[in-house]
Amino acid sequence: MSEAIEPDIDVEALKEQGVDLEVAEKVAPERDIVTKVGEALVQVQNLTIKFGGLTALDNVSFDINRGEILGLIGPNGAGKTTCFNAMTGVYKPTSGKVLLEGQLLNGLPQHRITRRGLARTFQNIRLFGEMTALENVVVGLDARHRTSVGGALLRLPTHVREEKTAIERGMALLEFVGIADHAHFLSRHLPYGYQRRLEIARALATDPKVLCLDEPAAGFNPAEKEELMALIRTIRDDGYTVLLIEHDMKLVMGVTDRIVVLEFGKKIADAVPKIIRDDPKVISAYLGEPEDDLA
């Protein structure tokens, strides 16, 4: 892993944030991405999801461009997590497509989608409690390993090499999210904030093209949220593309490059934060319409 720093790592920005460049280099995405920076990496096209009679997502389309932090926001129940679940294969879309680098993801098993390069965290933390922090991350790294039963039984060279690099990269990932000194603790014993960070490290371990974070700041106080946003920015500067779900508007404004707003399963806006802030439809979605026709 001693290759030169890839061009899409923003070295200057990382330096500015005081990130250990060596760690950042180890953590940086390893695989080739065909899509150029700024072009659409993920395309969500006319995505519709119905549960029985309820339309949770209605004809939603948006792109995620490589190298950006895209915010997906909306009031509670707007369909943010549903959209996420449809992208990562948990729900089967009623209609519409999800494309990653032009390739269709619909209908693939979830673990395949992860291996294609779409990793996610969970709104309610779902770590493997009986595993240490490091082992949790290595499970993520395993997504790109090839060893199976035969290789492990006979300790074939591939297995040995994978295990060794896994330790290196796993520790680098933990250090990157700031919990390396807790690597050997069982994940269920970690404090809440560390668990959130561990989830991000585990998702990064799968070497995703797009990292999807589902309300990573839930349950945090403002200072902690601020720290987390800094981490997300660092992840982007390290060469990842991030999709961020959040319903805290103020928070999202500060960190995202572009925002998609959902309300009642429909996309109501898609623009840079500055424009979103003044969009009357978004404001009414969050603050409610003035109910003059009821008067």
Partner 1 sequence: MSTTDGPTLIPDDSSAQEIADREAKMRRRKGWFPGLSDKWNALPRQTQWLFLIIVVVIAYLLPILNPPLITTEPGNNWQIALAQMSVYALIAVGLNVVVGYAGLLDLGYVAFFALGSYTSAMFTSPDSPYVHIPYLWTLPLAMAVAMFFGVVLGVPTLRLRGDYLAIVTLGFGEIVRILATIIPAMKGQVGFQNVGHPPGTDSAGQTIFQNSNGTPWYWLTLSIIIVVLLAAGNLERSRVGRAWIAIREDEDAAEIMGVPTFKYKVWAFAIGASVGGLSGALFAGQVGFVNNQKFDIATSILFVAAVVMGGTGNKVGAILGGALVAYIPLRFTAIAEFKYLIFGAALVIIMIFRPGGLLPARQSLLAYGRLAYNKLRGINGDIPASGKVVLQSGKGADK
| 93-152: contacts with partner 1 (CB under 8 A) | 109-111, 114-115, 119-120, 122, 125-131, 134-135, 138-140, 142-145, 147-149, 151-152
With b for 16 or more beta-carbon neighbours within 10 A and e for fewer, the 73-82 pattern comes to bbbeebbbbb
By CB under 8 A, how many residues form the interface with partner 1? 73
Query: Whole-number minimum distance, CB 89 to partner 1, in Å?
Result: 8
Query: Whole-number minimum distance, CB 171 to partner 1, in Å?
Result: 5
**CB count, 10 Å around CB of 20?**
13
Residue 204 or 276 having the CB closest to partner 1: 204
Q: Which of residues 167-206 bind partner 1 (CB under 8 A)?
A: 167, 170-171, 175, 178-186, 188-197, 202-203, 206
Query: Whole-number minimum distance, CB 189 to partner 1, in Å?
Result: 5
Query: Whole-number minimum distance, CB 105 to partner 1, in Å?
Result: 13
With b for 16 or more beta-carbon neighbours within 10 A and e for fewer, the 144-161 pattern comes to bbebeeebeeeeeeebee
Between CA 66 and CA 38 the distance in angstroms is 5
Q: Which of residues 213-252 bind partner 1 (CB under 8 A)?
A: 219-221, 223-224, 227-228
Residue 101 or 142 having the CB closest to partner 1: 142
55's tokens:
């339309």
Q: Which of residues 254-273 bind partner 1 (CB under 8 A)?
A: none
Three-class SS of residue 78? coil
Residue 186 or 271 having the CB closest to partner 1: 186
Query: Whole-number minimum distance, CB 223 to partner 1, in Å?
Result: 8
- Contact call for residues 34 and 45 (beta carbons, < 8 A): no
Residue 36 or 188 having the CB closest to partner 1: 188
Give Cα 229 distance to the centre of its chain.
Answer: 13
Cite the beta strand spans of the chain per DSSP E.
Answer: 40-51, 54-65, 69-73, 95-100, 103-104, 118-120, 210-214, 241-245, 258-263, 266-271
Query: Whole-number minimum distance, CB 103 to partner 1, in Å?
Result: 17
Nearest to 93 by CA among 51, 40, 43, 42: 51
Stretch 25-64: interaction string toward partner 1, x if CB under 8 A: ----------------------------------------
